[in-house]
Amino acid sequence: MKGRPIVTRMKVVGKGLLALVVMAVIVLAVWTTADRGLAQNSSPAKPSLDKVFPSANKCKRCHERAFEEWEASPLSRSIHSPAFRSSLDEYLAFSGNKDKALCFRCHAPHVNEFVEQAPMFVAQVQSGDPAIDGVGCAQCHLIKAVDRSTHPPVPKYEPGKTLFGPYKDYVENRAHESLEVDLFRKSDLCMNCHFSVPAAVNLGKSNDLLGAYESSKAFKSGKECQTCHMPEQIGESANGENKRKVANHTFPGRVGKLRQEAAKLDLKTEVKGDQTKVTVTVQSLVPHNLPTTHPGWASVVLDLTIKGKNLKTVYREQRVYGRTYANAKGQKTVFDFEATKVLEDTVLKPEETRAEVFTFPTPKDAPSFDVEALLNYGPVAGPPTFLQRIEAESARGAQDPVFQPILIVKQTANVSLK
């Protein structure tokens, strides 16, 4: 048999080589695509919110004391209260589709790590019974540092299995690692929430909540926020652990007996014929502004009552300590997120002493009269529709605690007219 011509044989071989090259390219492409897919699948997915910030209920298993204290504190209700739910509704109506995470940056600070889930946070609050924590255990104990170079300060979270705290002699356990961080002994830990009004107000550092607390005598003497608001006590840090000095987690302040140490009142009465003058000296004993909590509708009220014959009230007057805001239209507002200007600032500055003078007709037909001075945290204030919404949202209705004044200190005197 005759062989094929050389040229023909070369063409056949060339076609065969070409086919092999094409197949090799296809196989390589398949392998490369598969490798990319494996690489993408092997890259760690972002853990879910409940994995990074587990519910405080999980911490209860080992830290029962701290959990029970926290559960009774205002922090545990940071997104559960009807007042917050109603305020959030006001904010969302005001801001439309803007920063839905704004209110949560303090009331549920783990939103800083899951900003894309802000709508879920909103939906949880609006449900009336959030399944997520607001300010729980992990929301504080995963903070590694606080950046105070910005205003407001920014918490630096380090999610993982290491929880940070103030203890050096922590007990090793299987639930998580522990690490001593000095931040937990410093006021800086609290600053990321308790230092500034929300950024939307845009009023600058001069309008912070605490005032010049770093210039106070208390702060200069070494007292930090934790000194008063997380006072030391003897107890277990974890169940079954040896008792030692631990931090209290009820966070006393507006709620709790600590408020009774917030101020002093002194009365001085001068009767001059038909006119009487009462001077009430109000002395703030705290190293920060009074009030602080909420910049819009928090207030402290000095209430002076004069009772004459048969304890009948013959005179009553008040002094209010707080801030009055105006919105962009120049109208008064209690909502910090729409405030553009401070109209009046009567807040008691850190450790300030202020004298309030009241003048009134001298009570008649009685051998004496009674003077009663009360210093209270004032109840919630705002537009009627806002107050009605809170009342409707609350299981207690008009009896919800936010509608009630909270006594700080009381001073009384009986003045003889003989």
Decide: 280 and 267 in contact? Cβ < 8 Å: yes
Tokens (6 digits) for 47: 């853990």
- The pLDDT assigned to 338 comes to 85
DSSP per-residue letters across 341-392:
EEEEE-PBPTT-EEEEEEEEEPP-SSSEEEEEEEEEEPPP---HHHHHHHHH
pLDDT along the chain (418 residues), means of 10: 45 46 43 46 74 95 95 95 94 82 92 95 95 96 91 87 89 87 95 74 66 91 95 91 92 89 97 96 96 79 96 96 90 87 90 98 94 96 94 94 95 95
Decide: 154 and 105 in contact? Cβ < 8 Å: no
Decide: 330 and 339 in contact? Cβ < 8 Å: no
Q: Look at residue 9 and give its three-state secondary structure.
A: helix
- The pLDDT assigned to 162 comes to 94
- The pLDDT assigned to 216 comes to 93
Residue partners of 307: CB distance under 8 A and separation at least 6: 313, 314, 369, 370, 372
Nearest by Cα to 207 from 396, 375, 345: 345
Spell out a b/e string for 169-201, using b for 16 or more CB atoms within 10 Å of the CB, else e: ebeeeeeeebeebebbbebbbbbbbbbbbbebb
Decide: 181 and 164 in contact? Cβ < 8 Å: yes
Length reported for the chain = 418
- The pLDDT assigned to 17 comes to 46
Query: Distance between CA 75 and CA 86 in Å, rounded?
Result: 17
Query: Distance between CA 291 and CA 301 in Å, rounded?
Result: 10
